[in-house]
Structure 1
Amino acid sequence: MRLDGKRIFISAAAQGIGRASALACAAEGARVIATDIDAEALSTLVDEDNRIECHRLDMRDGGSVAAFAGRQPPLDGLFNCAGFVHNGTILDCSEDDWDFSFDLNVKSMYHAIRAFLPGMLEQAGKTGGAAILNMASMASSIKGFPNRLLYGATKAAVIGLTKGMAADYVGRGLRCNALCPGTVDTPSLRSRIAAAPDPVQAEKDFIARQPVGRLAQASDITPLVVYLLSDESRFVTGQAVLVDGGVTI
């Protein structure tokens, strides 16, 4: 199996891409530490081989993340998946909105990487490699979208964080990449569609911007997650990897 024997941490694993990634990594032989702030939803995350262990963890709480990491064996892989999509222009963005989005979308990655990095570097020295994967987006420094100013700013920061990490640790066996999905059919997207003045039209608009003619499914994204956390990607680092259905052609 492609992740056999690897220990991988995944945040925001209760639903959407995080949940699908936890199951995909477990199916490929990894021991998965799945975390989320939603303990009830996380409790339903079960795999047949009992490779997934679930823990409630608020990634915005640096002290809790550091304490949790201190109780864990070294990781082989870290997938920072937690995030929030703010809707609106800069005039719709309060300072509280700005702070919350950067705390969850960017600073949570800072907390996780700072907490787990020493052990990952130790593990990379023993095994020859370890991998960090950060959730970014096509809505970032790659492309601007209407009503995604704050979200795009946070995801641009994620790409910058990823490239800086890759440059700092490329000589020590640590790879760091960013995943940049297109529009994925997740519970988060469905809540945004439902909140629109015309949900039917909102869904049509989301689909229309994908040249392939449909929304992505989480299963379209997880093969890249497995690849970028596996030894198959041992020569890939510092990349913003697009899975966008042709939006940025």
Structure 2
Amino acid sequence: MSTDFDRRDRRAFDLSGKVVVVVGAGQSPGPGMGNGRAISLLAARHGAEVVAVDLNPAAVKETVEMILAEGGNAYAVEADVAEKDDCQRIFDTAMQTSGRVDGMVYSVATNPPFDFETNSMTVENFNRGINVNMLGCYHCTLFAAQCMERNSGDTTGSIVNISSIASVKNELGLNIGIMPYALGKCGLNQITEIAAVQYAPAGIRVNTLMLGPIDSVLANRDSQSLFGLDADEATARHNEVVKLKMGRASVWESAYAAVYLLSDESRFMTGQQLRLDGGATLVR
């Protein structure tokens, strides 16, 4: 790790030589880009070897191809994070292929199918949402940390768990469609803080990046289906909660924040919930 932060020719956020696992590196259907893909591309542009993980093999293959086309280094792993064994296999594959893990980003979210008219959801779909949004984060954080404990140095790895202001802001109403997501992200916040305490002596940093209204594929699609809005109404609803005048952020702003947390520049930060929300949570 380089700590020569005062050097004039230092390259900021240099991830060269680091292996970064991005869980959720694929792409939800629809126009635009998702946070996981943007984070994968930007980490590769900053020198990381990216282990791109997703349930959708075609989507994650496309992310890898985009990285390779830019001259970066990446490979794909197909996994269902609701399954513990799949989470373990992600990191077994990374260790066998790359020999180490330096960073992990958990950028996975799902809003399971529900009945908008009756505000109801099956128990199976509810549990699936919790397993993807929270339990998968627990397993990936655990297995990533176990890999990072093998690294040398005073800071040995960085884990970034992507959360949402839905875990702290309650203006959406008791909509069953958002509940597995909001509850899962609440759990993710706690997983981050507990893991930060547990693994600090090993030099592993664990932080939450809590996102507000981001112009991502998933946010655009789900905000319409969850609340019965059309595209313009969904955009207006997102913009209403932002205090800064520019409206929603792009996925690239999320990606730059994640790269900061992965890089040596954030070596003194752990157990934090960084809110990238345009001031949406200034007044709860």
Shift of 1:145: 3.2
1:139 equivalent in structure 2: 166
Is the 1:129–1:173 contact (alpha carbons within 8 Å) kept by the matching residues of 2?
yes
2:38 to 20, 36, 47: 20
Is the 2:53–2:90 contact (alpha carbons within 8 Å) kept by the matching residues of 1?
no
User: What is the DSSP-based 3-state SS (H/G/I as helix, E as strand, rest coil) of the residue aligned with 1:202?
Assistant: helix
> 2:131 & 2:265 partners in 1: Cα distance?
32
Q: Normalising to structure 1: TM-score of the pair?
A: 0.91
Shift of 1:143: 2.3
Q: How does 1:115-130 map to 2 (within 5 A)?
A: 115-123=143-151, 125-126=152-153, 128-130=155-157
2:92 equivalent in structure 1: 70
Shift of 1:91: 5.6
1:217 to 250, 253, 262: 250
Shift of 1:52: 1.8
Per-residue deviation, residues 127-178 of structure 1 (Å, max 9, x unmatched): 63211111111111x3223134432221111111100001111111010001
Per-residue deviation, residues 182-225 of structure 1 (Å, max 9, x unmatched): 01111112222443544032321122221224222101111110
Q: How does 1:84-95 map to 2 (within 5 A)?
A: 84-85=110-111, 92-95=120-123
> 1:224 & 1:5 partners in 2: Cα distance?
20
> 1:33 & 1:131 partners in 2: Cα distance?
15
> 2:263 & 2:248 partners in 1: Cα distance?
26
- Which amino acid in 2 is paired with 1:57? A
Q: How does 1:200-211 map to 2 (within 5 A)?
A: 200-211=232-243
Is the 1:25–1:32 contact (alpha carbons within 8 Å) kept by the matching residues of 2?
yes
Shift of 1:75: 0.4
- Which amino acid in 1 is paired with 2:77? H
Is the 1:20–1:218 contact (alpha carbons within 8 Å) kept by the matching residues of 2?
yes
Is the deviation greater in 95-104 or in 234-243?
95-104
1:5 equivalent in structure 2: 17
Is the 2:15–2:47 contact (alpha carbons within 8 Å) kept by the matching residues of 1?
yes
- Which amino acid in 1 is paired with 2:48? A
> 1:167 & 1:236 partners in 2: Cα distance?
12
User: Cα distance 1:150–1:57, how it changes in 2: closer, same or farther (>3 A)?
Assistant: closer
Is the 2:35–2:251 contact (alpha carbons within 8 Å) kept by the matching residues of 1?
yes
Q: How does 1:169-248 map to 2 (within 5 A)?
A: 169-195=199-225, 196-199=227-230, 200-213=232-245, 214-248=247-281
- Which amino acid in 2 is paired with 1:82? V
Shift of 1:43: 1.8
> 1:198 & 1:84 partners in 2: Cα distance?
18
1:42 to 42, 49, 60: 60
> 1:149 & 1:248 partners in 2: Cα distance?
19
- Which amino acid in 2 is paired with 1:118? Q
Is the 1:60–1:111 contact (alpha carbons within 8 Å) kept by the matching residues of 2?
no
Is the 1:93–1:150 contact (alpha carbons within 8 Å) kept by the matching residues of 2?
no
Q: Which has the larger radius of gyration?
A: 2
Runs of 4+ more than 4 Å apart:
none
> 1:4 & 1:81 partners in 2: Cα distance?
21
Give the aligned CA root-mean-square deviation in angstroms. 2.2
User: What is the DSSP-based 3-state SS (H/G/I as helix, E as strand, rest coil) of the residue aligned with 2:160?
Assistant: strand
User: What is the DSSP-based 3-state SS (H/G/I as helix, E as strand, rest coil) of the residue aligned with 2:134?
Assistant: helix
User: What is the DSSP-based 3-state SS (H/G/I as helix, E as strand, rest coil) of the residue aligned with 1:136?
Assistant: strand
Instruction: State the percentage of identical aligned residues.
Output: 25
